[in-house]
């Protein structure tokens, strides 16, 4: 077994074994990383051209009933400033975003009991009515089958729910006892079954992660077959027990982006804000390693800093308009272009714009 053989196998067969993934992640050299990067970039260029999709992220609530050990807005963090946006504020963000060219709105928040099915279906159906040409993505944690279904029927199209780790022991180290590994996985399969374009994902370099647990993440991605996959480095938050753990590595995150691109050539793969936080050029590098989505922040400027999952998050002081200008410039600087279509998942490697 050597790394080049494994990279070529992933490219041609779109899969590998757990041992092969772990071996590759452990042993890949700088030269092999570059080979992998080139293959991933080429694959993304074949499917999407030099186009990068944008998603307008609206952080609707910093209230959360969960206590994930790594997360800055965990329930027991008394220093976290809690806010929730009103329906009117959310619609205002959409209006602002629409004017800036966004055709996907991502409503993300902690698991906040205020946003019951009744409240949330009202918000989703209003956005659906006012913006019939836009995609609505939800990222609101676990909600149960019926709730997911109601929101889908109200007009939501996509749902982001990172699996966080595909290894049960690892999951239980990152989360309190009340949270269930099985339920998280079950939720993801429900979302797919209901018809959402579904996004899984995980942090790179989270405490207790190993090359073996990362290999399991790759196998899980293959098994679930999600339309989207959000991965970014773990970054410590000062008010969590993991405050002294190091951030996940830029290089390893980029390597995983490239592997995922080869595993699923048509997957929607963001260069995340966390990646832009660990390195000033992180998002540009993400795109050059096979990512094809960026998610600028559309949240009201006065609440940005309070949606603090990890320390030193970028873009917390910028208006959405500045962010999009900055990102277009960044993408241009590497030969890519931001596009304003919905950017739906589109199987069989057809070009997105053919739909
Ligand atoms: N560092 C990086 N990512 C984090 N997330 C939560 N806390 C952190 C952190 N400290 C990620 C989780 C979650 C997503 C919304 O943000 O993967 O699913
Ligand atoms: Fe937000 Fe650059 S992307 S300021």
What confidence score (pLDDT) does residue 56 get?
96
What confidence score (pLDDT) does residue 335 get?
98
In this structure, the residues whose C-beta lies within 6 A of any atom of ligand 1 are 70-71, 162, 164, 203, 232, 234-235, 237, 274, 309-310
- Residue 355 maps to a domain: no
CA 130 to ligand 1 center in whole angstroms: 31
- Residue 349 maps to a domain: no
Q: What does the chain come to in residues?
A: 355
> Confidence class of residue 73 from pLDDT cuts 50, 70 and 90?
very high
CA 309 to ligand 1 center in whole angstroms: 6
CA 232 to ligand 1 center in whole angstroms: 8
- Test site for ligand 2: of 52, 56, 314, most ligand atoms within 8 A of the Cβ: 314
State how far the alpha carbon of 319 is from the alpha carbons of 97, 277, 301, 341, in Å: 11, 17, 6, 21
Is pLDDT of 349 > 90?
no
Is pLDDT of 354 > 80?
no
Tokens of 48: 């999407």
Cβ atoms of 75 and 67 closer than 8 Å? yes
For atom 3 of ligand 2, the residue with the nearest CA is: 323
Backbone angles phi, psi at 284, to 5 degrees: -60, -45
Average pLDDT of the segment spanning 120-131: 98
Is pLDDT of 52 > 70?
yes
Is pLDDT of 348 > 70?
no
The whole-angstrom separation of Cα 113 and Cα 130 is 25
Contacts 24+ apart (CB under 8 A), 9-15: 10/259, 10/262, 10/263, 11/39, 11/43, 11/262, 14/222, 14/262, 14/263, 14/264, 14/265, 15/222, 15/263
- Test site for ligand 2: of 326, 331, 334, 338, most ligand atoms within 8 A of the Cβ: 326
Q: What is the CATH number of the domain that holds 81?
A: 3.20.20.70
pLDDT tens-digit map of 279-293: 999 999 999 999 999
- Residue 351 maps to a domain: no
pLDDT tens-digit map of 252-309: 999 999 999 999 999 999 999 999 999 999 999 999 999 999 999 999 999 999 999 9
What confidence score (pLDDT) does residue 6 get?
98
pLDDT tens-digit map of 237-249: 999 999 999 999 9
In this structure, the residues whose C-beta lies within 6 A of any atom of ligand 2 are 296, 315, 318, 322-323, 326-327
Is pLDDT of 18 > 70?
yes
What is the number of alpha carbons within 13 Å of residue 19 lying toward its C-beta?
Answer: 2
What confidence score (pLDDT) does residue 353 get?
41
Is pLDDT of 81 > 90?
yes
What confidence score (pLDDT) does residue 203 get?
98
- Residue 348 maps to a domain: no
Q: Mark 326-348 as b/e (b = at least 16 C-beta within 10 Å).
A: ebbebbeeeebebbebbbbbbee
CA 106 to ligand 2 center in whole angstroms: 17
Average pLDDT of the segment spanning 190-195: 98
103 versus 351: the higher-pLDDT residue is: 103
What confidence score (pLDDT) does residue 341 get?
85
- Residue 350 maps to a domain: no
- Residue 352 maps to a domain: no
> Confidence class of residue 317 from pLDDT cuts 50, 70 and 90?
confident
Domain count along the chain: 1
What confidence score (pLDDT) does residue 54 get?
96
| Residue 276 Cα: closest atom of ligand 2 | 3
- Residue 57 maps to a domain: yes
CA 59 to ligand 1 center in whole angstroms: 13
> Confidence class of residue 59 from pLDDT cuts 50, 70 and 90?
very high
| Best CA proximity match to 84, nearest among 298, 306, 273, 312 | 306
CA 98 to ligand 2 center in whole angstroms: 18
CA 15 to ligand 2 center in whole angstroms: 35
Ligand nearest to the CA of 322: 2
Domain with 269 in it: 3-9+16-25+35-342
Report CA 110 to chain centroid distance, whole Å: 15
For atom 13 of ligand 1, the residue with the nearest CA is: 162
- Residue 200 maps to a domain: yes
What confidence score (pLDDT) does residue 340 get?
87
């Amino acid at each position: 077994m050597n790394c080049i053989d494994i990279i070529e196998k992933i490219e041609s067969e779109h899969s590998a074994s757990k041992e092969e993934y772990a071996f590759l992640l452990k042993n890949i050299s700088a030269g092999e990383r570059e080979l992998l990067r080139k293959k991933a970039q080429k694959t993304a260029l074949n499917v999407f051209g030099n186009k990068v999709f944008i998603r307008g992220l609206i952080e609707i609530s910093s209230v959360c009933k969960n206590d994930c050990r790594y997360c800055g807005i965990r329930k027991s963090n008394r220093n976290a400033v809690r806010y929730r946006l009103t329906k009117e504020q959310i619609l205002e963000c959409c209006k602002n975003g629409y004017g800036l060219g966004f055709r996907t709105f991502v409503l993300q928040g902690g698991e906040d009991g205020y946003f019951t099915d009744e409240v949330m279906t009202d918000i989703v159906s209003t956005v659906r009515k006012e913006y019939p040409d836009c995609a609505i993505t939800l990222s609101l944690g676990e909600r149960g089958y019926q709730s997911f279904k109601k929101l889908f029927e109200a007009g939501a199209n996509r749902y982001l729910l990172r699996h966080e780790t595909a290894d049960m022991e690892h999951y239980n180290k990152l989360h309190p006892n009340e949270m269930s590994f099985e339920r998280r996985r079950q939720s993801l399969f429900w979302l797919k079954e209901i018809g959402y374009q579904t996004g899984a994902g995980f942090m790179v370099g989270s405490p207790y992660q190993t090359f073996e647990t990362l290999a399991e993440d790759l196998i899980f991605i293959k098994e679930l077959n999600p339309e989207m996959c959000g991965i970014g480095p773990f970054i410590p938050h000062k008010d969590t027990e993991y405050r002294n753990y190091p951030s996940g590595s830029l290089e390893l995150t980029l390597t995983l982006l490239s592997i995922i691109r080869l595993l699923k050539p048509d997957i929607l793969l963001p260069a995340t804000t966390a990646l832009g936080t660990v390195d000033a050029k992180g998002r540009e590098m993400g795109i050059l390693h096979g990512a094809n989505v960026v998610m600028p922040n559309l949240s009201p400027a006065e609440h940005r800093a309070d949606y603090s999952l990890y320390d030193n998050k970028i873009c917390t002081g910028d208006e959405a308009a500045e962010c999009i200008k900055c990102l277009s410039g960044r993408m241009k600087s590497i030969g890519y272009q931001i596009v304003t279509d919905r950017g739906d998942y589109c199987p069989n490697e057809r070009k997105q714009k053919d739909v």
